[in-house]
Amino acid sequence: MRKIFVLEFITLDGVIQGPGSATEDTSDGFPHGGWIVPFSDEVISSTMREQMQQPFALLLGRKTFEMWSSYWPYRPEAWPGINDETKYVVSNTITASEWVNSVFISGDVPAEIKKLKQQDGPDLKVYGSAGLVQTLLAHELVDELWLKIYPITLGKGKRLFAEGTLPAAFTLKDCKVSPTGVIVAVYQRVGEVKTGSF
């Protein structure tokens, strides 16, 4: 069975919108694009290289796919193997792309992704794709959260845990802190939330 890993850059107040550049995602007037750039360091760079080299298939929302398909096919040296891997794209509006190995998912998306998880193949990595992540969380389809938690708050923007997120318990599998104060953490889902009292 394949697993789904959600990889996100995230602020202390949960924002995941437009981390990489000023023009990445300006929807709803988001003014803080590029907020990860001042925190770049070797720990973050080496973590990214390690995560990009592992066997994977991509599971992307339409907006992320459209942005990536205009960039990565022309820079294969920056992410070796990216063009060879399968890109599963969740979209009700696009059904084809010139980017090789792109497969489109529509209709009952949670059911289709559950089928995808049952198939043989590499694990599925989700980058960005804020809307898709909400669907995955709401249907308990996320196995691990691979987060880079930045020491800032932005106050507005698309959040990782928006309305519709179901209660779930996670355990910390790995954690390190970069010189610029970014916490790199991997959380694995372990089941339902347990409660008690003192």
Domain positions in the chain are 4-191
Residue 53 confidence (pLDDT): 84
Residue 162 confidence (pLDDT): 85
Identify the three-state secondary structure at position 104.
Answer: strand
CA–CA gap between residue 101 and residue 85 (Å, rounded): 7
Tell me yes or no: is domain 4-191 CATH 1.10.3720.10.
no
Residue 89 confidence (pLDDT): 97
Q: Which two tokens stand for residue 106?
A: 């529509």
- How many beta carbons lie within 10 A of that of residue 58, not counting itself? 23
Rounded alpha-carbon distances, angstroms, from residue 192 to 39, 144, 189, 195: 34, 14, 9, 10
Phi, psi of 111 (to 5 degrees): -65, -40
Residue 155 confidence (pLDDT): 96
Residue 163 confidence (pLDDT): 77
Helix ranges restricted to H, 72-173: 109-118, 130-138
Residue 189 confidence (pLDDT): 96
Rounded alpha-carbon distances, angstroms, from residue 80 to 55, 77, 86: 11, 5, 13
pTM, full prediction = 0.94
Mean pLDDT by 10 residues, the chain (198 residues): 96 96 94 97 94 90 94 90 94 93 95 96 95 94 97 96 88 97 98 93
